[in-house]
Chains A and B, each alone.
Chain A
């Protein structure tokens, strides 16, 4: 898809930012949510402590194009697999899934094999996060 406004590369996109599990570190999720909104997206933020089923249900109800999951507790393998399964169970496999947080490099391939479109870590510039999401959507 081409964009008329290069400063708003995510214009017209709806994105859900979710905090699955019990991890309470939400600053990264909020920073990304504010950034995606500045890039033109309509952003919905779940708040803390959502189950994979709750996140998938909100994604379907809100008709989002993408779900961004923020996980810093080390439980990304389980939680990402669960969210993707819950999306498939709701026939929403076309929703793109992005993951951010403390994700060790040796787990990146595994997450991609589950269907994750891109993985963002704290040292990645926000411009790159927006660009990668825009390219994938």
Chain B
């Protein structure tokens, strides 16, 4: 490899590429035709879907360009959504603040410093009405990054649609609603594992009937990935969690042929391009096989592995921030080669701040350039049949299955989470990744190699969160408490409690009723906590 530019500060030794991928999979300098097993590849749109779930790839339908956005108050987020839709974005993605995600009202002492910080504060229906004001919910698809309180936020979305006069069956969108990975990596759990699984089954079974075009869960590997898991581990944990949800839904009497059509998945794309492509191709093939062989699923649509991705995350770094533009472009290519259904591209400044309008626009433009200028969307799975890509897909599949077998031999995902076993493994993996970066074994340009002396982190144009956000959210919250019909709130909460106490009752209709009565997220969560208790985090390091 070319040695470092002597004008730049020396990194720790000359950068090298080892003979293994970032997932630890061996990669030969040259792969020949005998590496391909044609019977494992198949055709696009046909089982086992290695080459994609549609026969015509993106010619039939381009991926959805979906940017994660939302901050401060509902009014500000509503304005940002209108801006993004004008820029050509085709779906909304709603970020919620931590009090909403963890089930605390803005007045709770734990909530106060966090109001509106990492997303919009959505404490009750009136905020949701403001958030979607002027947006036709029958025409846009809305994705909510929400887990612990996903069922409540989904109920609130239904209530807003009711208020706008939009028929519920026309609603499209996604709630993340994947609690298992929250216990492992993202931390917005509320209830213990068992009642959380029940709540998720309630919401999925209800959504299948009421909003048949809405995705009631997005099973996410993204967060364990960002915390340190390899691409193979990310896919393995996600598939294992997916199977746990399928088992739960079947135990509740759900028809797998029906509910499996609305399961979707969500991943990060980091910088090892072929690991990423192989991860998606192998994951798609494995899921189809699990559905068909383990559960006897016949309908191809219920074997489909549909997924969205984020390009960026912890692969973006603060030093030399414009380098991140290139990283996101490479990662977007990997997502497209992997056959993603929706793509979110991080803004280059996300490693150190909330993106500005211009950096958010550049992130959208990156996708549009790849979609409309590069030509790679013309033919489905353009890398299919590549000796190396097919071999790497096979090896990735073996590695994913190996990790899944480890979880199984521990006793399954629920036990591994309750004991903190997966959490500890992930922490150790995160430490390994950090030490690889610190030492320069894992090259990150501008960080551990090619770093300029005296570099200042960050660029100008810093987005400023309005300091009055919390105060305004509190004032609006108080107004709702003062003007709502208190007796209706109490009655709806009482009915919710009664439903939660019955294992075979579905709590969803009661949550929708609470939302219509302007019960708050905190009130609904408190009510459920009384019935179900709270998760006790295993803190074993």
Contacts and interface: CB of A to CB of B under 8 A. Distances in A.
B102 A22 contact: yes
A27 to B, nearest CB: 4
Interface in A25-49: 25-28, 30-31, 33-35, 37, 43, 45-49
Interface string A121-133: 1110111000000
Interface in A65-86: 73-75, 78-79, 82
Nearest to B438: A125
A121 B226 CA distance: 16
Given A31-B427, A47-B539, A104 B114 contact: no
Contacts of B226: 27
Contacts of B354: 74
A24 B6 CA distance: 42
Contact of B434 (A45, A74, A82, A126): A126
Contact of A75 (B113, B228, B430, B541): B113
A74 B118 contact: yes
Of the four ranges (under 10, 10 to 19, 20 to 34, 35 or more), the interface on chain B belongs to 35 or more
B438 A24 contact: no
Given A30-B541, A35-B431, A23 B438 contact: no
A51 interface: yes
A24 B187 contact: yes
B98 A22 contact: yes
A4 interface: no
A31 B98 CA distance: 23
A48 B537 contact: yes
Given A22-B110, A105-B458, A126 B435 contact: yes
A22 B427 contact: no
A115 interface: no
B541 A34 contact: yes
B376 interface: no
Contacts of B182: 24
Contacts of B216: none
Contacts of A47: 537, 539
A22 B99 contact: yes
A58 B426 CA distance: 26
Given A34-B428, A51-B109, A123-B319, A73 B187 contact: no
A57 interface: no
B186 A75 contact: no
A106 interface: yes
Given A34-B541, A123-B317, A49 B102 contact: yes
A78 B470 CA distance: 12
B124 interface: no
Interface string B448-460: 0000000001100
Contacts of A43: 541
B131 interface: no
Contacts of A33: 541
Nearest to A127: B438
Nearest to B456: A105
A43 B101 CA distance: 29
B430 A22 contact: no
B31 interface: no
A93 B233 CA distance: 43
Interface in B428-474: 428, 430-431, 434-435, 438, 447, 457-458, 462, 465
B431 A31 contact: yes
B387 to A, nearest CB: 37
Nearest to A47: B539
A33 to B, nearest CB: 5
A27 B98 contact: no
Contacts of B431: 30-31, 34-35
Contact of B113 (A37, A48, A79): A79
B188 A24 contact: yes
Given A74-B117, A123-B317, A123-B319, A23 B430 contact: no
A110 to B, nearest CB: 14
Nearest to A33: B541
B454 to A, nearest CB: 14
B438 A75 contact: no
A123 B186 contact: no
B166 interface: no
The 6 A-B residue pairs whose C-beta atoms are closest, nearest first, are: A24-B187, A78-B113, A22-B98, A30-B427, A27-B227, A47-B539
9 contacts: A22-B111, A24-B98, A24-B189, A27-B226, A34-B427, A35-B431, A75-B117, A78-B113, A126-B434
Interface of B: 98-99, 101-102, 104, 109-114, 117-118, 182, 185-189, 226-228, 314, 317-319, 352-354, 426-428, 430-431, 434-435, 438, 447, 457-458, 462, 465, 537, 539, 541
Given A34-B541, A75-B113, 6 more contacts: A22-B114, A23-B98, A24-B187, A27-B227, A27-B228, A30-B541
